């Protein structure tokens, strides 16, 4: 299961990799403060919406973040067994959340989590000065790392992008970076050449949201010296695990109910790839209604936020609220498809929550 060309050199690399992971875990358990590393993220990472209060969809609205719902859902996710929580990416409406709401929301998320699971907070903005202010803000509040992509006003060349991440790494040498490799949103390919260069020049880059597929993972791991954890969504985790199970330590999913994704990652960790495929197939079934839209690069880039907000609401797991302007229009057929996706996922959540109930101790509320 560790790839088609698995020989003595590959076995040596795997043994070394596992030894390093176990040593880091031992040091953490002994109370040593260690910066979140490449392979420290385990299980399912749930990506939060930024819940919106009623009326918050108006352009002149202020104080729009629903902090009561934020506190509730963060606690629920931790009790349900997620391996970590991410906030303020695309589906968290980082681009359309005001700075005042951003700060209130981040404070609520981190104070609710209380370091019980790793917390990764997005800080992408239109310029490096604002990004630095946001990183400093979330770091001082206790975040474990940042989900960071590139300013969106104009696309960066590979050279410019590597320089950008290197400067962030130099400015915040004790704070982990997760590259948000969304080529649709940030108009950058995030290809193997980019990751090879950034792994050498930005030492605090420990992971990437996306950035590799089943076809490119082996090469990406090779050129980066396994210094970057390429994290798939739950729909892509099985494919990556077939190439390199030992480095497929985690996957991400929108907040629609975490139990299907937890079951998938548990199966991958246990090496039960038959079970992993069964769960993965069900997750793919839930996503079928939106696939005609998400499979189009152009269409999904235009309606990413809208699809996420609608399907999270339809799942019933979180009250994400309406969309912030200006990304608050979507065609009716797309809305209906996203709602069906949410309803199907709710079915899976109910099924897997019941299956896993005896084994899930839950966290402290």
- Give the confidence band of 358 by pLDDT, cuts at 50, 70, 90: confident
- 228-264 burial, b for 16+ CB within 10 Å, e for fewer? bbbbbbbbbbbebbbbbbbbbbbbbbbbbbbbbbbbb
First to last CA, the chain: 38
**% residues pLDDT > 70 (the chain):** 89
Q: What is the pTM of this model?
A: 0.90
Given pLDDT bands bounded at 50, 70 and 90, which one contains residue 265?
Answer: very high
Record the tokens describing residue 171, joined without a space.
């400015």
* pLDDT confidence band for 364 (50 / 70 / 90): very low
The CATH homologous superfamily of the domain defined by 37-359 = Aldolase class I (3.20.20.70)
Give CA–CA dist 251/268, Å, rounded. Answer: 11
Domain boundaries, the chain: 37-359
- 62-94 burial string, b = 16+ CB within 10 Å, else e? eebbbbebbbebbbbbbebbbbbbbbbbbbbbb
Report residue 27's pLDDT band, with 50, 70 and 90 as the boundaries. Answer: very low
* DSSP 8-state class, residue 30: T
Identify the residue with better confidence: 39 or 285.
Answer: 285
* pLDDT one-digit tens code per residue, 146-197: 999 999 899 999 999 999 999 999 999 999 999 999 998 899 999 999 999 9
Average pLDDT, the chain: 91
Query: Which pLDDT score, from 0 to 100, does residue 23 have?
Result: 53
44 in Cβ contact with 253 (< 8 Å): yes
19 pLDDT band, cuts 50/70/90, is low
Task: State residue 178's pLDDT score.
Answer: 98
Tokens of 256: 């629609």
For residue 43, what are the β-bridge partners? Answer: 250
More confident site: 13 or 108: 108
Query: Directed axis angle between helix 332-356 and helix 273-287, to 10°?
Result: 150
Average pLDDT, stretch 328-347?
A: 98
Split at pLDDT 50, 70, 90, the class of 326 is: very high
């Amino acid at each position: 299961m560790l790839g088609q060309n698995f020989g003595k050199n590959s076995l040596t690399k795997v043994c070394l990799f596992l030894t390093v992971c176990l040593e880091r875990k031992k040091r953490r358990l002994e109370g040593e403060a260690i910066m979140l590393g490449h392979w420290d993220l385990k299980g399912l990472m749930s990506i939060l919406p930024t819940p919106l209060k009623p009326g918050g969809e108006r352009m002149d609205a202020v104080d729009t973040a629903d902090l009561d719902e934020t506190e509730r859902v963060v606690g629920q996710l931790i009790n349900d067994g997620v391996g970590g929580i991410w906030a303020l990416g695309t589906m968290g409406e980082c681009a359309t959340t005001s700075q005042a709401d951003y700060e209130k929301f981040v404070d609520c998320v981190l104070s609710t989590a209380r370091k019980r699971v790793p917390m990764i907070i997005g800080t992408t903005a239109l310029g490096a000065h604002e990004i630095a202010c946001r990183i400093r803000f979330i770091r001082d509040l206790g975040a474990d790392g940042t989900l960071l992509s590139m300013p969106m006003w104009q696309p960066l060349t590979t050279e410019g992008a590597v320089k950008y991440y290197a400067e962030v790494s130099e400015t915040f040498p004790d704070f982990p970076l997760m590259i948000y490799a969304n080529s649709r949103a940030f108009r950058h390919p995030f290809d193997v050449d980019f990751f090879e260069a950034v792994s050498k020049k930005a030492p605090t880059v420990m992971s990437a949201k996306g950035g590799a597929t089943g076809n490119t993972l082996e090469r990406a791991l090779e050129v980066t010296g396994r210094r970057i954890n390429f994290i798939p969504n739950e729909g892509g985790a099985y494919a990556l695990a077939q190439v390199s199970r030992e480095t497929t330590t985690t996957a991400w999913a929108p907040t629609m109910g975490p139990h299907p994704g937890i079951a998938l990652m548990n199966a991958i960790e246990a090496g039960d790839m038959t079970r992993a495929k069964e769960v993965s197939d069900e997750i793919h079934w839930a996503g079928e209604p939106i696939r005609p839209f998400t499979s189009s690069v152009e269409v999904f880039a235009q309606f990413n936020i809208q699809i996420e907000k609608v399907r999270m609401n339809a799942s019933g797991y979180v009250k994400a609220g309406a969309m912030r302007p200006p990304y608050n229009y979507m065609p009716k057929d797309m809305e209906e498809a996203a709602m069906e996706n949410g309803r199907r996922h709710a079915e899976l959540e109910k099924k897997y929550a019941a299956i896993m109930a005896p084994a899930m101790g839950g966290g402290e509320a």
